[in-house]
């Protein structure tokens, strides 16, 4: 029988019972629900108004572009208390999204793109502030469990929110989805405002704006723990983007219609939900580097095996991709929170997000260019090999090959 001391569910229960941790998690879930619903429906909205796939794809580009300015936007999360910043950003986004109720013709699309761009920029600031606030509000030993639950909640919202958004859109149009998103931001504002944890006002920086902006990059590059994790995370997300661009070719190779991709994504989401629940114990047992490396190695095998034209193999690989990919993301974010001074945490988090997530967009674009002339099977096998190379440096050297290593 498992003792209470070794029970892996106890840290999760501690996180959920902690008032501030629970409020932070609820805020992430609520705002993430609205964001996921609007993210999908904005493209459908544009497609219905214009009939253009290119204009619909610009919705995703508008939301992603501000991530390139992560190091600059992250400084905003270090210039004052994070709780007021989070509540202010959520109120701003709630009011901003309400303007979309007036979009009902192709000539109104400039407003939608502008809102999505500001939405993306504010999201970068909010993510940095939330990560910094969590590092203050949640016990250090529970950060891995919290980030795992956050991943579980985020992936769960990706499964549920698009369905809710699609139902609302089909029944009442795009304005109803905008109203739903605005309501989630108002609710998230109340949740963040209810936090009781105290945080001091950061000292006024004496250095210049440019130096403050680049300080996050310098901290990540010089840190022996964070640099390899961030580099591995960026390489992994580049490969993940390439893999994601192959999904419809994989479905076609299985002999199914394009809608079958939804089944594969659902199984992948289930894998991410599962690993999110297990990430806290895995981080404590394996350490951040080994946990990340194990996830990347699992991802490598799953991506390569997707080249096999078999339904059971495809389903198993989708679940394994969902379980393997989040490992490096959770390990990196948790390490950033643990290894970064509080005064730098906002800009370092935003910089890490930029370096890790931006390659995903590059991978999607490269995959779209490669899938037809090269074919998905050679690309998938090559990606599997590249991911194994990415994982290898994160594993500790064998005993006797240099200094003695510890877990």
Tens of pLDDT, residues 101-118: 888 888 888 998 899 899
pLDDT value at position 404?
A: 40
142 and 112 in a common domain: yes
Say whether pLDDT at 310 is over 60: yes
178 and 299 in a common domain: no
124 and 19 in a common domain: yes
Structural domain of residue 305, as residue ranges? 211-397
Residue 381 lies in a domain: yes
Residue 404 lies in a domain: no
Nearest to 309 by CA among 252, 358, 258, 387: 252
176 and 265 in a common domain: no
Say whether pLDDT at 212 is over 70: no
Q: Which residues of 109-148 are buried (b: 16+ CB within 10 A; e: fewer)?
A: beebbebbbbbbbbbbbbbbbbbbbbbbbbeeebbbbbbb
Say whether pLDDT at 398 is over 60: no
130 and 185 in a common domain: yes
User: Domain boundary at 151, 167, 196, which?
Assistant: 196
Instruction: State pLDDT tens for residues 340-361.
Output: 887 787 788 888 888 898 888 7
Confidence band for 245, pLDDT divided at 50, 70 and 90? confident
Weakest mean pLDDT among 55-64, 156-165, 196-205, 213-222: 196-205
**Averaged over 191-210, what is the pLDDT?**
62
**Averaged over 141-169, what is the pLDDT?**
77
- Percentage of the chain lying above the pLDDT 90 cut: 21
pLDDT value at position 72?
A: 76
pLDDT value at position 272?
A: 87
151 and 29 in a common domain: yes
159 and 35 in a common domain: yes
In terms of Cβ atoms closer than 10 Å to its own Cβ (0-12, 13-18, 19+), residue 234 is: buried
Say whether pLDDT at 397 is over 70: no
Q: Write down the mean pLDDT value for the chain.
A: 81
Q: Which residue has the higher pLDDT, 266 or 90?
A: 90
Residue 370 lies in a domain: yes
CATH number at residue 93: 1.20.1250.20
217 and 190 in a common domain: no
Alpha-carbon distances of 143 from 11, 128, 191, 375, rounded to whole Å: 10, 15, 19, 41
In terms of Cβ atoms closer than 10 Å to its own Cβ (0-12, 13-18, 19+), residue 197 is: middle
**Averaged over 58-66, what is the pLDDT?**
77
**Averaged over 243-264, what is the pLDDT?**
80
Confidence band for 264, pLDDT divided at 50, 70 and 90? confident
Residue 81 lies in a domain: yes
- Percentage of the chain lying above the pLDDT 70 cut: 87
* 69 and 346 Cβ atoms separated by less than 8 Å: no
**Contact residues for 211 (Cβ-Cβ < 8 A; gap 6+):** none
Q: Which residue has the higher pLDDT, 270 or 68?
A: 270
Three-state secondary structure of 148-183: HHHHHHHHHHHHHHHHHHHHHHHHHCHHHHHHHHHH
161 and 52 in a common domain: yes
168 and 23 in a common domain: yes
270 and 156 in a common domain: no
Q: Which residue has the higher pLDDT, 201 or 117?
A: 117
- How many independent structural domains does the chain possess? 2
Alpha-carbon distances of 107 from 102, 337, 400, rounded to whole Å: 11, 44, 68
Instruction: State pLDDT tens for residues 87-106.
Output: 888 898 889 989 988 888 88
105 and 174 in a common domain: yes
Say whether pLDDT at 406 is over 60: no
* 331 and 292 Cβ atoms separated by less than 8 Å: yes
Confidence band for 403, pLDDT divided at 50, 70 and 90? very low
In terms of Cβ atoms closer than 10 Å to its own Cβ (0-12, 13-18, 19+), residue 4 is: exposed
C-alpha–C-alpha distance, residues 146 and 150, integer Å: 6
Q: Which residues of 275-294 are buried (b: 16+ CB within 10 A; e: fewer)?
A: bbbbbbbbbeebbbbbbbbb
């Amino acid at each position: 029988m498992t003792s209470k001391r070794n029970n892996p569910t106890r840290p999760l229960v501690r996180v959920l019972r902690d008032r501030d941790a629970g409020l932070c998690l609820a805020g992430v879930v609520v705002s993430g629900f609205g964001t996921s619903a609007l993210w999908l429906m904005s493209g459908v909205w544009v497609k219905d108004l214009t009939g253009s796939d290119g204009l619909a794809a610009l919705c995703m580009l508008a939301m992603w572009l501000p991530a390139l300015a992560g190091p600059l936007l992250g400084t905003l999360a270090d210039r004052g208390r994070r709780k007021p910043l989070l509540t202010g950003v959520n109120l701003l986004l709630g009011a901003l999204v309400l303007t979309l109720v007036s979009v009902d013709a192709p000539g109104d699309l400039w407003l939608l793109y502008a809102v999505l761009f500001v939405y993306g920029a504010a999201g970068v600031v909010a993510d940095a502030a939330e990560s910094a606030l969590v590092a203050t509000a949640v016990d250090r030993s529970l950060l891995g469990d919290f980030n795992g639950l956050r991943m579980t909640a985020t992936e769960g919202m990706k499964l549920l929110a698009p369905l809710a958004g699609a139902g609302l859109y089909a029944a009442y149009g795009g304005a109803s989805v905008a109203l739903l998103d605005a309501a989630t931001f108002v609710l998230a504002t109340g949740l963040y405002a209810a936090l009781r944890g105290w945080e001091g006002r950061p000292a006024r920086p004496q250095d210049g704006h440019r130096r403050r902006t680049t300080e996050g990059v310098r901290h990540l590059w010089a840190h022996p723990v964070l640099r390899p994790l961030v580099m591995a995370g960026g390489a992994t997300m580049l490969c993940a983007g390439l893999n994601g661009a192959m999904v419809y070719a994989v479905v076609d190779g299985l002999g199914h219609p394009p809608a079958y991709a939804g089944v594969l994504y659902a199984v992948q989401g289930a894998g991410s939900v599962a690993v999110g629940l297990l990430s806290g114990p895995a981080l404590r047992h394996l350490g951040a580097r080994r946990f990340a490396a194990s996830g990347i190695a699992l991802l490598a095998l799953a991506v390569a095996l997707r080249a096999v034209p078999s339904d059971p193999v495809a389903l198993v690989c989708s679940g394994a991709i969902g379980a393997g990919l989040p490992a490096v993301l959770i390990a990196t974010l948790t390490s950033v929170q643990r290894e970064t001074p509080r005064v730098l945490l906002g800009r370092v988090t935003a910089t890490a997000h930029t370096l890790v997530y931006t390659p995903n967009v590059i991978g999607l674009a490269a995959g779209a260019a490669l899938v037809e002339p090269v074919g998905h099977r050679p690309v998938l096998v090559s990606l599997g090999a590249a991911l194994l190379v990415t994982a290898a440096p994160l594993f500790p050297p064998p005993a006797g090959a240099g200094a003695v290593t510890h877990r």
